[in-house]
Structure 1
Amino acid sequence: MRAMNIITLILLVIGGLNWLLVGLFQFDLVAAIFGGETSVVSRIIYILVGLSALWQLMPLFKSFSEDEALAQRH
């Protein structure tokens, strides 16, 4: 599980940085590296980033159920 969390967090950072570039400069780095938004590799990366976001929802909801978020506020 720990390895999967690290991998998904890395993918989310990559996705976040890519969206930052899209927002600031209208430049999609993933598409530029892998041959356009519709290339198979780009689509796989977009899918992996999206699945990573879904995966990271589990620890988020778990932290709420364990009152970890409440404990961090105090």
Structure 2
Amino acid sequence: MDRIALLLVIIGALNWLLVGLFNFDLVAAIFGHNSFLSRAVYSLVGLAGIWSVSLLFRDRSRA
């Protein structure tokens, strides 16, 4: 689950990089502006970000 969350956070970060540098939203370009699929992707990325916050507070000795 951690790797999936990390992958989604990376996808979200790369999308924001494209928005910041080129004003280009790749998710909207692929799935349509404000479509159900684009909102689903944004929601999954947001949930992955929330999940990733838990990584900050985990015991690192537990590998």
TM-score (norm 2): 0.89
Partner residue of 2:58 out of 59, 62, 66: 62
Higher share in helix = 1
CA displacement, residues 5-55 of structure 1 (integer Å, 9 cap, x when unaligned) = 01010001100000000000000000000011x100000000000000100
Consecutive unaligned residues of structure 2, counting only runs of 5 or more, are none
The answer to which structure, 1 or 2, has the higher relative contact order (CA under 8 A, 6+ apart) is 2
Consecutive unaligned residues of structure 1, counting only runs of 5 or more, are 69-74
Partner residue of 1:15 out of 9, 12, 16: 12
TM-score (norm 1): 0.77
Tell me the C-alpha RMSD between the 2 structures: 1.4
Alignment match, 2:44: 48
State the distance in 2 between where 1:26 and 1:16 align. Answer: 14
The 4+ residue runs of structure 1 with deviation greater than 6 A are none
